[in-house]
Homo-oligomer: A and B are copies of this chain.
Amino acid sequence: MTQPAPAQAALPSHSGVTDLYFDFLCPYAWRGLELADVLRREHGLKFRLRHFSLVQGNHAENPDRKYPTWWLTDQVAGQGSEYQAGSLNAFLAGQAAMRQTEDAAWAFTLELLRARHAAPEKADLANDGTMRAAAEGTLDTARFEADFADQDGLRAALRDDLQASASLGVFGTPTYHLPGGDIAYFRFANLVTEPGAALDLWTLYTKVLSDGALIETIKRAK
């Protein structure tokens, strides 16, 4: 089960940029992206959107998360469980959005996460109509249609994210990979959008990861 890790995962994130791994299926990822969006808009922090698949990470055929044998990117569109089909479709639409401006990609991604997790009725991610609705008002829709049709190219880009997250041992979302190399899942229940509170929360999270005690886990009992 030992295979060489890809070069991408062996290097720290780009200087100054935090990689944010998320899955559209995850309500905590939605909160994590709202937090990061405030930090980038109000405080100038840099984040890169990256995809991690919970369906792939938890798949029975992937006992070692670091070396998957079952890949979401190898699946036929629309097949499998609602979660499998929906997350693949949303990831590919998200990859298409990332071909436009950074602000547009964030707006689309947040729109889709809100439609799934903040709306009264959970949006169906397997439905292309959900993707088009999220593109309205956030993207150049003609360009989105053209890019979203390039399924092979989008799958290749998604595969890069899935390979990177697997190699890093990502197991849940949101997970932030800091410029210094620290990487940790960060789950919180309450939406934080006030700029001061967002910066305080981010400072607290990063302080936990940089403490000399080498904190590995803080997890509430329930």
Residues of A within 8 A of B (CB): 168-172, 175, 182-190, 192, 197, 200-201, 204-205, 207-209, 211-222
- The reply to whether B204 and A216 contact each other, CB–CB distance below 8 Å, is no
Secondary structure at chain A's binding surface: helix, strand, loop or mixed? Answer: mixed
**Shortest 3 CB-CB distances between A and B: which pairs?**
A188-B213, A189-B214, A187-B217
- The reply to whether A182 and B220 contact each other, CB–CB distance below 8 Å, is yes
A54 to B171, CA, bound (A): 23
A175 CB contacts on chain B under 8 angstroms = 221
Closest B residue to A35 using CB positions: B213
Within the complex, which residue of B172, B187, B213 is in contact with A189, where a contact is CB–CB below 8 Å? B213
Within the complex, which residue of B186, B188, B204, B205 is in contact with A214, where a contact is CB–CB below 8 Å? B188
Question: How many whole Å from A83's CB to the nearest CB in chain B?
Answer: 21
Question: How many whole Å from A1's CB to the nearest CB in chain B?
Answer: 15
Question: How many whole Å from A189's CB to the nearest CB in chain B?
Answer: 4
